[in-house]
Amino acid sequence: MFRNLEAEQRRKGFTNADVAQILNISRATYEAKKKNGKFTRPEIVTLLKLFGCKFEYLFDDTPTPAA
């Protein structure tokens, strides 16, 4: 799971259905791609523009450190 993608999505107030519609895919497909990371290049470009972030930040999959 890409926590920064989740965070930016929440920050912008987008639901999974909203982002899926922007990407022209189903909500279920978007949710699956958030888990498996298998976004296409055009989808990645769209997400980077949508959230105004760099790839390295938006798709950082470093685990959250345990508290």
Instruction: Express each pLDDT in 6-64 by its tens digit.
Output: 999 999 999 999 999 999 999 999 999 999 999 999 999 999 999 999 999 999 988 77
- Say what the pLDDT of residue 3 is: 92
> How many angstroms separate the CA atoms of 65 and 42, rounded?
31
State the pTM of this model: 0.89
- Say what the pLDDT of residue 61 is: 85
Is the predicted pLDDT of residue 67 greater than 90, yes or no?
no
CA atoms within 13 A on the CB side of 7: 10
- Say what the pLDDT of residue 55 is: 96
CATH superfamily of 3-56: lambda repressor-like DNA-binding domains (1.10.260.40)
